[in-house]
Structure 1
Amino acid sequence: MRGVKPAIVVAGTIYRTPSAPAWLSRLGKAEWKKVATILVERRHLTDADLGTLAAYADAVAQLAESTQIVNREGMVIETKAGLRKHPAISIQMNARNQIRQLAVELGLTPVSRSRPSIREDGNADDDLSPLAL
Structure 2
Amino acid sequence: MKGDLKQSKLPRKAPEYLGSIGKAMWRYLAPYFNETKKTIRADQYLVAQYCSAYEVYRKAYEIVLKDGIQRPKYKTLLSPVTGKVVAKDFAGYAKNPAVQTMANALNQLNALGKELGLSPVSRSKLAKLDFIDFNEKKEDKKSAVESLKEFFG
Please state whether the residue corresponding to 2:94 is helix, strand or coil.
strand
Q: Quick one: percent identity of the two aligned structures?
A: 32
Larger strand share, 1 or 2: 2
| Superposed CA RMSD | 2.3
Query: 2-side partners of 1:38 and 1:120: how far apart?
Result: 18
Alignment-derived partner of residue 63 in structure 2: 69
Query: 1-side partners of 2:94 and 2:47: how far apart?
Result: 34
Q: Which amino acid aligns with 2:56?
A: Q
1:82 Cα deviation after fit = 4.2
Alignment-derived partner of residue 101 in structure 1: 111
Large movers: runs of 4+ above 6 Å: none
Please identify the structure whose Cα radius of gyration is greater. Answer: 2
User: How many residue pairs get matched?
Assistant: 114
In the alignment, structure 1 segments of 5+ residues that lack a partner are 1-10
8 A contact 2:10–2:44 mirrored in 1: no
Which one of 26, 32, 39 corresponds to residue 45 of structure 1? 39
Query: 2-side partners of 1:15 and 1:120: how far apart?
Result: 20
Please say if 1:119 is aligned against 2:127.
yes
Query: 2-side partners of 1:87 and 1:44: how far apart?
Result: 37
Alignment-derived partner of residue 53 in structure 2: 59
Query: 2-side partners of 1:64 and 1:95: how far apart?
Result: 9
Q: Which amino acid aligns with 2:127?
A: R
8 A contact 1:17–1:37 mirrored in 2: no
Query: 1-side partners of 2:111 and 2:42: how far apart?
Result: 17
8 A contact 2:12–2:30 mirrored in 1: yes
In the alignment, structure 2 segments of 5+ residues that lack a partner are 75-90, 131-146
* 1:8-45 Cα deviation digits (max 9, x unpaired): xxx71333643211111100001011111100101122
Alignment-derived partner of residue 30 in structure 2: 36
